[in-house]
């Protein structure tokens, strides 16, 4: 079923991963040999594609600060208005067309890699995943920078950036994305928001009676929403941690949306669509699991997400049938 979108590739291979917990998760490789080119050119990852945009030699983007004490960045000036023009039927976006809409590197249940592992701190789990999504999104965007130029992309959907005076400003996509990525990178590097140095206190929280009784109930996750308790509290994350993650997630989604809407043909030319689709699907599944994205924020790619969901549903019913 999944073979067809990838069968143009050389010797597709499916790797099965047996796990003890009933969930399976497979990868389809176009080439099992990644010995051939694992050269990580050291400078292509953390700079945001075009400008060697490094922390330190780059002015921080003019984001609003202290709006609610958490430095939530730009908001869209208006909601996303779906492009329901009449030409839609005849000009179906490439991302929704076969065979590419079905292209996928991964098959099986995303639960394997999305669900909070037992006994693990929810804050640490979300932090690591947000970190990794950013890392790989940045990598993908780095591939797009040849095309995502001021000239080619004078705007980015309906998103606008709040400038220093909190005025919504329309920016060219590359500028907007550069601001977004820099902003996210700065958050991720912020020891207060994403602490790394001080390891989570290993025993202290167990000694306190309240934590202990909570643990006895079998749930290791602190119940968010209770006063004095928040996601990531145990690991030393600030109370705003979850909100920050949501804000990061929202902005990352916009980068996904821009690439899908504007550069998906490049993705296909470069034979990246299976990897890109699966990465996006993973991103969405994680968002749902932890409620990191609002429904309205997902609107720009709703049709694609629906298509992915339909495929998963179709696959699971086929699996049950066989």
Partner 1 sequence: MFSTQDQGSQGQQLFQNNGQYDASGLAQKLQDQHLNSRTPSSPQRPKTSGSLQAGSDYVVFERNTENFSPQTREKAAATKLKVELFYNQNVQHAVERNQRRMELERRLASETRMSEERKDRQRQQLGKHESSYLRLRRTRLHPDDFLTVKVIGKGAFGEVRLVQKKDTGKIYAMKTLLKSEMHKKDQLAHVKAERDVLAESDSPWVVNLYYSFQDSVYLYLIMEFLPGGDLMTMLIKYEIFSEDVTRFYMAECVLAIEAVHRLGFIHRDIKPDNILIDKEGHIKLSDFGLSTGFHKTHDQAYYQRLLEGKGPNSPAPNQGRNSVLVDAIHLTISNREKINTWRQSRRIKAYSTVGTPDYIAPEIFIHQGYGQECDWWSLGTIMYECLVGWPPFCAEDAHETYRKIVNWPETLYFPDEVQLSYEAEDLIRSLITSADKRIGRHGADQIKLHPFFAGVDWDSLRSIDAPFKPQLKSITDTSYFPTDELENIPDAPAVAAVRAHEESGAPFSSDDTGLPFIGYTYKRFSQLHSKGGIP
- Work out the angle between the directed axes of helices 241-269 and 273-290 (0-180°, nearest 10): 160
Q: Which stretch binds partner 1 (CB under 8 A): 16-24, 66-74, 164-172, 290-298?
A: 16-24
Out of 72, 103, 148, 153, the only residue in the binding site for partner 1 (CB under 8 A) is 153
Site for partner 1 in 214-233 (CB under 8 A): 215-216, 220
Does 113 help bind partner 1 (rule: CB under 8 A)?
A: yes
Residue 263 assigned to a binding site: yes
- Residue 269 in contact with partner 1, rule: CB under 8 A: yes
CB of 243 to partner 1, least distance (A): 19
Q: What is the DSSP string of 109-176?
A: -THHHHSPPTT--HHHHHHHHHHHHHHHHHHHHHHHTTT--TTT-S--TT--EE-TTS-EE---HHHH
Q: How far is the CB of 131 from partner 1 (least distance, A)?
A: 4
* Residue 212 is assigned to a ligand binding site: no
Among 103, 121, 222, 254, the residue binding partner 1 under the rule CB under 8 A is 121
Binding window for partner 1 (CB under 8 A); candidates: 17-25, 70-78, 222-230, 240-248: 17-25
* Residue 313 neighbours by CB distance under 10 Å: 10
Q: Is 316 in the site for partner 1 (CB under 8 A)?
A: no
Q: Rank residues 15 and 313 by Cβ distance to partner 1 and give the closer one.
A: 15
Distance CA 82, CA 300 (A): 7
Locate 278 and state its tokens.
Answer: 């699966």
Residues 242/225, Cβ–Cβ less than 8 Å: no
Q: Which residue, 164 or 270, has its beta carbon nearer to partner 1?
A: 270
Interface region with partner 1, contact rule CB under 8 A, candidates 8-16, 73-81, 240-248, 298-306: 8-16
| Contact in structure between 110 and 104 (CB atoms under 8 Å) | no
* Interface region with partner 1, contact rule CB under 8 A, candidates 46-54, 69-77, 163-171, 246-254: 46-54
Asked whether residue 153 is marked as a ligand-binding residue, the answer is yes
With CB under 8 A as the contact rule, the residue among 72, 74, 95, 252 that binds partner 1 is 95
Query: Does 27 contact partner 1 by CB under 8 A?
Result: yes
Cα–Cα–Cα angle for 142, 159, 184, nearest 5°? 45
**DSSP assignment, residue 118?**
T
Applying CB under 8 A, among 14, 51, 55, 82 the residue interacting with partner 1 is: 55
101 binds partner 1, rule: CB under 8 A: yes
User: How far is Cα 271 from Cα 11, in angstroms, rounded to an integer?
Assistant: 15
Question: Binding of partner 1 at residue 189 (CB under 8 A)?
Answer: yes
Contact between 30 and 105 (Cβ < 8 Å): no
Q: Which is nearer to partner 1, 66 or 197 (CB)?
A: 197
Min separation Cβ 281 and partner 1, Å: 11
Q: Which two tokens stand for residue 260?
A: 């899908």
Ligand-binding site membership of 148 (annotated): yes
Count residues binding partner 1 (CB under 8 A): 104
Tell me how long the chain is.
322
Residue 42 CA: distances (Å) to CA of 135, 261, 270, 320: 14, 29, 21, 46
Rounded Cα gap, residues 88 and 84, in angstroms? 7
Instruction: Identify the CA nearest to 273 among candidates 92, 95, 12, 138.
Output: 95
CB-nearer residue toward partner 1: 294 or 309 = 309
Task: Name the one range near partner 1 by CB under 8 A: 62-70, 185-193, 285-293, 312-320.
Answer: 185-193
């Amino acid at each position: 079923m999944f073979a067809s979108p990838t069968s143009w590739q050389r010797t597709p291979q499916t790797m099965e991963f047996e796990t003890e917990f009933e969930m399976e998760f497979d990868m389809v490789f176009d080439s099992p040999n990644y010995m051939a080119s694992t050269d990580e050119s050291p400078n292509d990852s953390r700079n945001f594609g075009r400008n060697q945009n490094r922390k330190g030699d780059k002015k921080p983007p003019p984001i609003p600060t202290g709006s609610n004490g958490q430095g939530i960045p730009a908001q869209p000036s208006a909601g996303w208005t779906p492009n329901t023009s009449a030409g839609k039927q005849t000009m179906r976006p490439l991302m929704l067309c076969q065979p590419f809409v079905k292209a996928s590197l991964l098959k099986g249940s995303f639960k394997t890699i999305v669900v909070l592992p037992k006994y693990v701190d929810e804050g640490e789990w979300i932090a690591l995943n947000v970190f990794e999504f950013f890392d790989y999104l940045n990598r993908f965007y780095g591939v797009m920078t040849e095309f995502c130029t001021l000239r080619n992309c004078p705007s980015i959907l309906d998103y606008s950036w709040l400038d220093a005076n909190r005025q919504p400003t329309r920016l060219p996509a590359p500028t907007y994305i550069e601001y977004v990525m820099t902003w996210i990178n700065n958050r991720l590097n912020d020891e207060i928001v994403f602490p790394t140095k001080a390891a989570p206190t290993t025993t202290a929280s167990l000694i306190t009676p309240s934590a202990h009784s909570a643990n006895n109930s079998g749930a290791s996750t602190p119940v968010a929403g209770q006063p004095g308790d928040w996601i990531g509290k145990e690991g030393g994350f600030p109370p705003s941690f979850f909100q920050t993650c949501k804000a990061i997630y929202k902005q990352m989604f916009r980068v996904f949306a821009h690439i899908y809407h504007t550069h998906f043909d490049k993705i296909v030319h470069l034979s990246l669509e299976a990897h890109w689709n699966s990465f996006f699907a993973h991103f969405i599944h994680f968002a749902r699991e932890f409620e990191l994205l609002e429904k309205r924020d997902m609107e720009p790619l709703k049709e694609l997400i629906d298509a992915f969901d339909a495929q998963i549903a179709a696959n699971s019913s086929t699996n049950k049938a066989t």
